[in-house]
Structure 1
Amino acid sequence: MKNRHEVLFTQLESYRSYILGVVENVTEEEAEIIPKGFNNNIRWNLGHIYLDQYLWIQAVTKEKAGVPEQFQAWFGYGTSPADFTPETPTMEELKKLLKGQPAEIKAQYGERLEEEFAPTEMGMHTIEQVLIRTIFHEGMHLQTILDLKKCMR
């Protein structure tokens, strides 16, 4: 029987594989489209998912996470594709980062999931709690990506 940490990482990897499957055939050009009624595009949503997971881990641990500093300016809360620069990762680059992120998090934090930290403003005080929250958050952005894709048809 799997322990809850193994289940958590299985879910993280499974959900991540699902979202990567959804965007597998999205072109760079399609990833830039912002349909009427939306604030962001598919590329922004993928970068935001990647960034969010590390930001919440960083918020709990108070340790520097493995995300490039510029990601906050491109994909942080309140940003938009208008903030992109020529250095902003492409769809293909983001897909590679997203694919490797679950294994990186497991390697770096897998033995520390229950370590107690000072609570965040949302009351989370373990990395395990952060991962549960970020899986939920990823699902919200998955729905946005699905909606963006529908608008492209």
Structure 2
Amino acid sequence: MKKRHEILFNQLNTYREELLLSVSDVTEEEADIIPKQFNNNIRWNLGHVYMDQYMWIKVLTKDELYPEEFNQWFGFGTSASNFDEQTPSFEELKQLLNGQIQKIKDLYGNRLEEEFPPTEMGMFTIEQVLIRTIFHEGMHTQAINDLKKCIRK
């Protein structure tokens, strides 16, 4: 594996650890609260981060990486009001997120520079997609930190 790819996976792991640390003291009950000024809850944010990272890889590779139902629960423009009894719990989402980076490394670590037809954002490699997801994950980590502050006031 190229040095820059090792660095990319180290960054992905570090940011994922930060995300999971930010929810380590959150209860199941807190994870489902939607404060007035927010559209979603902590559980939705976790599911959205998980789905989004795979979704962009799927756009390129066409590989099925997550259950289709994740789109209705956690896709762009959805809300926790779309949750049903099948929606993964807060704990299940933390477990999925905990293993996701290693799974991506195992599946795609040797394919990071493989070129695909470009996405609407112009990305055409898995490496480019993963770089984009770092920014996205940071935005949702901040959203989760904001939710925690509101919930605990």
Alignment TM class, shorter chain as reference: over 0.9
After superposition, the C-alpha distances for 1:39-82 in whole angstroms (9 at most, x for unaligned) are: 00000000000000010001112232x21111111000111011
The question of 1:54 aligning with 2:54 is answered: yes
Query: How many angstroms apart in 2 are the aligned matches of 1:90 and 1:62?
Result: 27
1:68 counterpart residue number = 67
Q: Which amino acid aligns with 2:141?
A: L
Which residue in the other structure is 1:31 paired with? Answer: 31
Number of residue pairs the alignment of both structures matches: 151
**Which letter maps to 1:150?**
K
Q: C-alpha separation between the residues in 2 aligned to 1:60 and 1:27?
A: 36
2:144 maps to which residue? Answer: 145
Moved over 4 A (4+): none
How far residue 102 of structure 1 moved from its aligned partner, in angstroms, is 0.2
Alignment of 1:1-153 (within 5 A): 3-64=3-64, 66-153=65-152
Say which SS state the counterpart of residue 43 (structure 2) adopts.
helix
Structure 1 Cα separation of the partners of residues 9 and 19 of structure 2: 15
Q: Distance in 2 between matches of 1:6 and 1:90?
A: 32
**Cα deviation, residue 37, structure 1:** 1.3
Query: 5+ unaligned residues in a row in structure 1: which ranges?
Result: none
What's the offset of the Cα at 1:137?
0.3
Letter in 1 for 2:47: G
The answer for unaligned runs of 5 or more in structure 2 is none
**TM-score, scaled relative to structure 2:** 0.96
2:28 counterpart SS class = coil
Paired with 2:50 and 2:116, the residues of 1 have a C-alpha distance of: 22
Identity %: 67
Length-normalised TM-score, structure 1: 0.96
TM-align CA RMSD? 0.9
- Cα distance in 1 for partners of 2:87, 2:122 equals 32
Deviation at 1:152, TM superposition (A): 1.5
